[in-house]
A and B are shown apart, each in its own frame.
Chain A
Amino acid sequence: MNELIVIFLSMALINNIILVRYLGLCPFLGVSRELKPAFSMGMAVTFVMFVASLSTWVINHYILIPFDIQYMFIIVFILVIASLVQVIELFIKKTNFSLYSAFGIYLPLITTNCAVLGVTIINMMESYTLLGSLVSALGSGLGFTLVMTMMAGIREKLELADAPRSMKGAPIALITATLLGLAFFGFSGIV
């Protein structure tokens, strides 16, 4: 139990997927302009990460390792994630249209989101157990959502700030990320 808490905290806060591992920067800079879409995107990523970690763990332990073809992991993982995203998109489009209109549009973007593939590769490299992988996926996803929403909240105000012309847009967002990253360093004392 203790180990799972450590995994969760380390993935969510200490090794935050955006601020420390630099994964998922494209949505971080692209989608984090308003609060609501940023939160929906975060939730969609968390969900996909969870399902992707579950399926890649099963595939890794019951197909890749027994047949000794672990070097195929890159091709297998990316295909699993891509098809998974397609299936989830079709499924929620049919069953729950309001959910689909809330975060369905972000699903295609998630296929090539390095955060999702990154988490599955980290789970494999750290050789987490099934439960550990799921907790790590949940932690990373919630950490991603946390930073996305914080950043969106700041950027809504930042749009009105009187920044120099050449700093507007991406540069000032990156410098804000620096300050957020420094703040997140405070978490490294937790574990």
Chain B
Amino acid sequence: MSTSKKEFVKGLITTNPVFVLLLGLCPALAVSTSIDNALGMTLAVFIVLLGANVIIAAIRGIVPSITRIPIFIVIIATLVTLVNLLFNAFLPDLHATLGIYLPLVVVNCIVLGRAEAFASKNPMVRSIADALGMTVGFMIAMLMISFIRQMLGTGEMSVFGFHIFSLPVLIDSPMAIFILPPGGFLIMGLLLALLRWKGVLKL
């Protein structure tokens, strides 16, 4: 069990998919304009990553290595289709805001990367731990980016409609640049530099 715990913890910081591996940057920047969207994207990535790791760990013995990549892609694409339909049915607002980025989870490097690098070589329990760790790592990164962007870009913080706080000056004249595309690059760059400077991430 201790090895599973290790696989879980490594995803949080030492091999954080977004900050260290620089994978899955497209969704990390595109939908991190508010905490709601960030959590919605995390949910989608969680379902797909867990499903893909479980299925691929289960069939890893019978998949011929020469055709493994197409097989993985079909499995992942099936899961993404399911998530796309589920979100469309039960969370239509979120489905509309995530737009093309929800179908694009299929080419998210985190999912295929973990399937290829981890689940195709490791037993089920450790693959589940890896998927959970990667998801929590992705969520931490998404929450950090979207918290800053939403706070500076709109001047107030609200999660799922609950108002938490608003900043005195920014609420009247928010710095809209932070929820526009260049703001995402800026926050990501500064956050990465800060984490390296503080020694959280190794250079």
User: Assuming the A-B contacts A21-B30, A79-B74, are A114 and B107 also in contact, with contact meaning beta carbons closer than 8 angstroms in the complex?
Assistant: yes
Which chain B residue lies CB-closest to A21? B30
Interface residues on A, range: 35 or more
Interface status of A23 (Cβ within 8 A of chain B): yes
Interface status of B106 (Cβ within 8 A of chain A): yes
Interface status of B70 (Cβ within 8 A of chain A): yes
Using a CB-CB cutoff of 8 Å, which residues 42-64 of chain B contact chain A?
A: none
Using a CB-CB cutoff of 8 Å, which residues 99-143 of chain A contact chain B?
A: 112-114, 117-118, 121-122, 125
CA distance A145 to B22 in the complex (A): 21
Q: A82 touching B189 by the CB < 8 A rule?
A: no
Interface status of A167 (Cβ within 8 A of chain B): yes
Which chain B residue lies CB-closest to A116? B107
Q: Of A122, A166, A179, which one neighbours B196 at CB under 8 angstroms? A: A166
Which chain B residue lies CB-closest to A16? B181
Shortest C-beta distance, A28 to chain B (Å), equals 9
Q: Beyond A22-B29, A71-B84, A117-B107: 12 further Cβ-contacts under 8 Å?
A: A19-B182, A20-B181, A22-B181, A26-B23, A74-B84, A114-B26, A114-B107, A117-B106, A121-B100, A164-B193, A165-B196, A182-B177
Q: Which residues of B contact A25 (CB under 8 A)?
A: 25-26, 29
Which chain B residue lies CB-closest to A23? B26
Q: Of B81, B106, B189, B197, which one neighbours A175 at CB under 8 angstroms? A: B189
User: Assuming the A-B contacts A22-B26, A25-B25, A114-B26, are A121 and B190 also in contact, with contact meaning beta carbons closer than 8 angstroms in the complex?
Assistant: no
Interface status of B103 (Cβ within 8 A of chain A): yes
Interface status of B141 (Cβ within 8 A of chain A): no
Chain B residues touching A, majority SS:
helix
Which chain A residue lies CB-closest to B79? A74
Q: Chain B: residues with CB nearer than 8 A to chain A?
A: 22-23, 25-26, 29-30, 70, 73-74, 77-78, 80-81, 84-85, 99-100, 103-104, 106-109, 112, 177, 180-186, 188-190, 192-194, 196-197, 203
Interface status of A58 (Cβ within 8 A of chain B): no
Q: B181 touching A170 by the CB < 8 A rule?
A: no
**Which of B70, B74, B85, B100: most chain A Cβ within 10 A?**
B100
Q: Which residues of A contact B182 (CB under 8 A)?
A: 19, 177-179, 181-182, 185
Shortest C-beta distance, B164 to chain A (Å), equals 27
Interface status of A172 (Cβ within 8 A of chain B): yes
Q: Which residues of B contact A118 (CB under 8 A)?
A: 100, 104
CA distance A82 to B177 in the complex (A): 37
Q: Which residues of A contact B108 (CB under 8 A)?
A: 114
Interface status of A84 (Cβ within 8 A of chain B): no
Q: Which residues of A contact B196 (CB under 8 A)?
A: 165-166, 171
Shortest C-beta distance, B118 to chain A (Å), equals 17
Q: Which residues of A contact B22 (CB under 8 A)?
A: 26, 29, 170
Q: Of A74, A112, A122, A172, which one neighbours B189 at CB under 8 angstroms? A: A172
